[in-house]
Amino acid sequence: MDKKTQHYSTQFPDVRVKVYSVSESLKRHLYLFKTVTGVFSFKQLDLGTKVFIEHMKIPEKQGVLLDLGCGYGAIGIVLAHLASQSTVYLTDINKRALWCARENIKYNLTERSGKVIVLPGSYFEPFKNKNVKFDGIYMNPPLRNGRREFLTLCEDIPRYLKSKGLFQFVIKKKMGAEYVHNYLNKHHSELFEIIEVIFKRSGYWIFCLMSF
């Protein structure tokens, strides 16, 4: 991929490394994230991610949660902070993003009892030979890879969710939130018991899908 067409969904971004700090108050707690060029939204927390974090549902019971395509780790780190007994996985394909996520876990999560695990790989590849199922999967999807890729991923999700597990994600209206909602209702209603848009703000739609 040449530099012009390359974006953050690359395994090894080929742009000069520059380190940034992003501070953000999320669910009434202040976080400081280290970010680098070549990682999604490295100069400031993406508005979609922020709206999503403020409105995502976090299971009260101890469980296993996944931040799928974690970037520098904001969603997974907030989950790990608030669900401090749960095991939280963060995965991404981008090696720089994973480096940031590991640094940000060390810095932001000093006191917690549950495990926080960072794994490299494409989507569910890191869990291929592991018998892991999740109570919650959380995602700000890489729609620049194409909407089709995301809709295909949605077909795989139920295999990785426990019964009554939640798949939550955010999509910008301009990036086709309404299309995705209609598509899921039309083609995936047999895969999920509930398909809901739980919140809309600033042009972002927050989806919550529950497995059977």
Ligand X SMILES: C[S@@+](CC[C@H](N)C(=O)[O-])C[C@H]1O[C@@H](n2cnc3c(N)ncnc32)[C@H](O)[C@@H]1O
Contact 175, 166 (CB under 8 A): no
- By beta-carbon proximity to ligand X, the closer residue of 123 and 192 is 123
**Binding to ligand X in span 172-211, by CB under 6 A:** none
9 lies in the binding site for ligand X (CB under 6 A): yes
Rg (CA), the chain: 16
**Interface residue with ligand X, options 86, 104, 108, 140 (CB under 6 A):** 140
Identify which of 107, 104, 162, 109 has the alpha carbon closest to the alpha carbon of residue 135: 162
In the shown chain, the binding pattern of residues 145 to 174 toward ligand X, with x for contact by CB under 6 A and - for none, equals x-----------------------------
* CB 193, min distance to ligand X, A: 25
- By beta-carbon proximity to ligand X, the closer residue of 108 and 140 is 140
Residues in CB range of 76: below 8 A, 6 or more apart: 65, 67, 70, 88, 89, 90, 101, 116, 138
CA distance 31 to 208: 25
**Interface residue with ligand X, options 51, 75, 80, 105 (CB under 6 A):** 75
In the shown chain, the binding pattern of residues 22 to 61 toward ligand X, with x for contact by CB under 6 A and - for none, equals ------------------xx----x--x------------
**Interface residue with ligand X, options 92, 101, 137, 157 (CB under 6 A):** 92
**Interface residue with ligand X, options 62, 85, 122, 185 (CB under 6 A):** 122
69 lies in the binding site for ligand X (CB under 6 A): yes
* Unique residue bearing structure tokens 């955010």: 170
- By beta-carbon proximity to ligand X, the closer residue of 87 and 140 is 140
Residues that bind ligand X (CB under 6 A): 8-9, 40-41, 46, 49, 69-71, 74-75, 91-94, 97, 122-123, 140, 142, 145
